[in-house]
C-alpha cells in the first residue's frame, strides 16, 4: 500500500502561493510516498500544470452530488477532474459544520466523485463533547456507515480520521487514541467490504506538524496524514513527507 501525505489548503492560497509547490517539488522530486495537495478550486488548474510529471497529485476540497445543473457557486466532480484533480476531499468537518452536510449527502458526493473517476477522501471525526461522553467509536461507526457508499475500494476511497477538536488547535489525540480509532475503522471496513477494504488507506488528520508526524506514522493502520495548516509551507509539509517516506 502506497502511503499518502495529503495537504488541505482550505480557503487559503492565491497564485503566489504556488511558489510553495515549486519549493516542495524541489525538496521531494521522488518521495517514497504519494503527495497530494488540495488547493482552493481557483488554483486547481495551475497547480495541475506544475504537478504534471511529478510525484505530486492534485485534489479538490468538495464537489456537488449532481453531475451538472442549476447550482450556483457549486462545482461538479467532472469539473474537478477536468481541471486536473485526481481526488476530492468530502465530508470535512468544516463542511459538515458550515454547510450542514450529512452522512447521506457525503455518500452521494462520494458516488458522484467515483462516477467522474475521482478518489473520494472521506473525512470522519468526533467532537470533543462526543469524545468526553465516551461516544467516539459510536460516532465514527455511524459516520463510516453513512458516508461511505457501497462498492468502496482502495481504488476509489481514502478515509481520513480527523477529530474535530484536534483540527487547527495544536491538540493531538494520544497515539493510543489514534490507534484505537484507526483499528476500529480498519475492522469496520473489513467487515463491510471484505478483501477490497484492505487497500483503503486510512489517514490521520488534526494538528499534524513536522514535530509530531513521525510518531503518528508509527501507529498501526495509519497510512498517511491529511494536513491543514502545516501543508501551506513547503518546508513544513516537506518534513512531514520525509517522515512518511521514512516510516
Ligand atoms: P490542521 O492540520 O490545520 O489541524 O487541519 C487539519 C485538517 O482539517 C485537514 O483537513
Domains and CATH numbers, the chain: 4-246 (3.20.20.70)
* Whether pLDDT at 28 is above 90: no
Least Cα distance to 224 among 234, 232, 214 occurs for 214
State in Å: Cα 216 to ligand 1 middle.
Answer: 14
Output the CA angle 143-148-149, nearest 5 degrees: 135
Task: Note the pLDDT of residue 232.
Answer: 98
Task: Note the pLDDT of residue 193.
Answer: 96
**Would the CA dihedral through 141, 145, 147, 153 be positive or negative?**
positive
Cell of 82: 477536468
Tens digits of per-residue pLDDT, 121-163? 999 999 999 999 999 999 999 999 999 999 999 999 999 999 9
**Ligand 1, pocket residues at CB < 6 Å:** 8, 92, 162, 167-168, 205-208, 226-230
Task: Note the pLDDT of residue 1.
Answer: 87
Q: Whose CA is nearest to atom 7 of ligand 1?
A: 228
Q: Whose CA is nearest to atom 5 of ligand 1?
A: 228
Task: Note the pLDDT of residue 31.
Answer: 81
The model's pTM is 0.97
3-class DSSP state of 242: helix
State in Å: Cα 227 to ligand 1 middle.
Answer: 5
Amino acid at each position: 500500500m502506497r502511503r499518502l501525505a495529503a495537504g488541505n489548503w482550505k480557503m487559503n492560497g492565491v497564485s503566489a502561493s504556488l511558489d510553495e509547490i515549486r519549493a516542495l517539488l524541489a525538496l521531494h522530486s521522488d518521495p517514497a510516498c504519494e503527495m497530494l495537495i488540495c488547493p482552493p478550486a481557483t488554483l486547481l488548474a495551475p497547480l495541475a500544470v506544475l504537478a504534471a510529471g511529478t510525484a505530486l497529485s492534485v485534489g479538490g476540497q468538495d464537489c456537488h452530488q449532481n453531475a451538472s445543473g442549476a447550482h450556483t457557486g457549486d462545482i461538479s466532480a467532472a469539473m474537478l477532474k477536468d481541471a486536473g484533480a485526481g481526488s476530492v476531499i468530502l465530508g470535512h468537518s468544516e463542511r459538515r459544520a458550515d454547510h450542514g452536510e450529512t452522512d447521506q449527502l457525503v455518500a452521494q458526493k462520494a458516488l458522484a466523485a467515483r462516477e467522474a473517476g475521482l478518489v473520494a477522501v472521506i473525512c470522519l471525526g468526533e467532537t470533543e463533547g462526543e469524545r468526553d461522553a465516551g461516544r467516539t467509536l459510536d460516532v465514527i461507526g455511524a459516520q463510516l456507515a453513512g458516508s461511505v457508499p457501497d462498492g468502496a475500494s482502495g481504488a476509489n476511497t481514502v478515509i481520513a480520521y480527523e477529530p474535530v477538536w484536534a483540527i487547527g488547535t495544536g491538540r493531538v489525540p494520544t497515539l493510543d487514541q489514534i490507534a484505537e480509532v484507526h483499528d476500529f475503522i480498519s475492522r469496520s471496513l473489513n467487515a463491510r467490504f471484505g478483501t477490497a477494504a484492505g487497500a483503503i488507506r486510512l489517514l490521520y488528520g488534526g494538528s499534524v506538524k513536522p514535530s509530531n508526524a513521525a510518531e503518528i506514522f508509527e501507529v498501526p493502520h495509519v497510512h498517511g496524514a491529511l494536513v491543514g495548516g502545516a501543508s501551506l509551507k513547503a518546508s513544513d509539509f516537506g518534513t512531514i513527507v520525509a517522515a512518511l517516506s521514512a516510516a
